[in-house]
Structure 1
Amino acid sequence: MATPIALAAMGGAFSERSGIINIGLEGMILIGAFAGVLGSFYTGSPWFGVFLAMVAGGLLGAIFALFTIKFKADHVVAGVGLNILTLGFTTWLMQILWGSRGTSPNVNGLKEISIPVLKDIPVIGKLLGTQSPLVYLMFILVFSGWVLLFKTPLGLRIRITGEHPEAADTLGINIKGIQYFSVILSGILSGLGGVYLSLGHLNWFSMNMSAGRGYMALAANIFGQWNPLGGLAASFLFSFTDAIQMRLQSLNIGIASELIQMLPYLLTIVVLAGAVVRSRPPEALGKHYETGK
């Protein structure tokens, strides 16, 4: 359950480390979930669906980058608009392609795989021994993203762009190029998180399938201090709360299901409010910088 949140949170870390606030993570997850089912529906290959989801997420990231970097739109307004557009666009396409505004037809999803030695270890084997391949890929990507962001020259360029673009410009760093790269990468990772929902966890797409996970990813990114590993840890917290509300609903304890379903979102609000107070975001986050000044 942490997989889509962790991938989108890492995407948010790259985007915001470069200075671009990415509220559009929700829409990028949603378009990834839809594109994955679309690809699997027409080709029968879930892996083509995964590829198409990454392309769709990257394309949406490029559109968001165009508005925020080239046209200097307000980052928050552009992100919210992108989320609304994606929700309407995917619902409309479902109606056109499948004649339904609720769910798509069942498609071929990704089969779970087992790690031979890992699956035999007590407790750990039950948790991680047999999972969707995207779960294992998520762990690899999060660690690789941390290495890229904090241990490579490119990562240093991304971080200095978000902290002090004037200094980066003086050093000859291509500010806009770094920001375009970071936001598009953010879209690709979020699209990959979205396709896990539709092809890794289920075998279909439903309207508004992201269900607020993009906003949870935004909170996880802030709570994790704009660090992929911190975002992964925070995503475990949110997914744990989501798992609790599912278990509570199945126990029929006499509390209205709507109240129980609020738990993950209440935690998101509380964590985000507390994290914003204590966290120090990148200095130039949300600010437009004109190169050559």
Structure 2
Amino acid sequence: MSTMAYTTDPAATAAITRRRTGLAKSTATVTRRALLRYVRTPQLIVMATVQMSMFFLIYRYLFGGAIHIAGMPYVDFLVPGFIATGVLFSGIGAAVATAEAVHEGFVDRLRSLPIPRSSVLTARAIADTAILTLASAVTIAIAYAVGFRLHGSALDGLAGFGLVIVFGFAFEWVFVTMGLFAGNGQVAQGMGMIVFPFAFISSAYIPVATMPSWLRVFAEHQPLTYMVDSVRALTLGPHAEALLGHPTSYFLTRALIWTVAIIAVFLPLAVAKYRRG
């Protein structure tokens, strides 16, 4: 019987450490720059926040009296769905911004810098997720003012909000990829329209049980429904399983699998496109 000795090359270890440090530092620097752009152009933050809140109020009062959900007020059903689908609509702005950066040559300038390629795209995703977080928080505050109530614990509510941010970060990679392939803002905005079927053919605004059977199959198994219902289950607390038909873990497990899958597909795709130019 023989044994094999493994040795660690100090030079190789040091090189890996430097690359990791360089990636983290570059990502932090580019993220800071992107966030400063938002701070210096507050209209971008205001519009993102106002738009999300305005559409929520429209859904709350336009459909609130027409749609009846068994076992809960419509506003309690709507808020988790609206906040979760908000990651899609806010992501269109990320696609447009990325496409404009490509069109204006800013991305070419970044490629010439001695920084890891993935740090630029990661910074874009983080900065846009930060704006999504702010817009979602404001919308939730407004939701409380117009009747929404959390039926789970405060920890459940925070977990639900955290899930929205995680889902948002995953979908940012979809939209960043879209922007890189689009090449200009108009095309990116048009490509962004593909999110509408996912948003509306889901459990976000109405129960999927009310849909035609052929449409229900898609609605029940698409990623956004699992994401919406995982957040909704956390906000409903002990009533979740009786009202939704499954325990929270059922929706949460599937939502997280979809989240990991989306990042696993679109992050390397975006980086590959960025490298090729």
Q: What TM-score do the two structures reach when normalised by structure 2? A: 0.36
Bigger Rg, which one:
2
Say which structure, 1 or 2, has more relative contact order (CA 8 Å, 6+ apart).
Answer: 1
- Structure number with higher helix proportion: 2
Q: What TM-score do the two structures reach when normalised by structure 1? A: 0.35
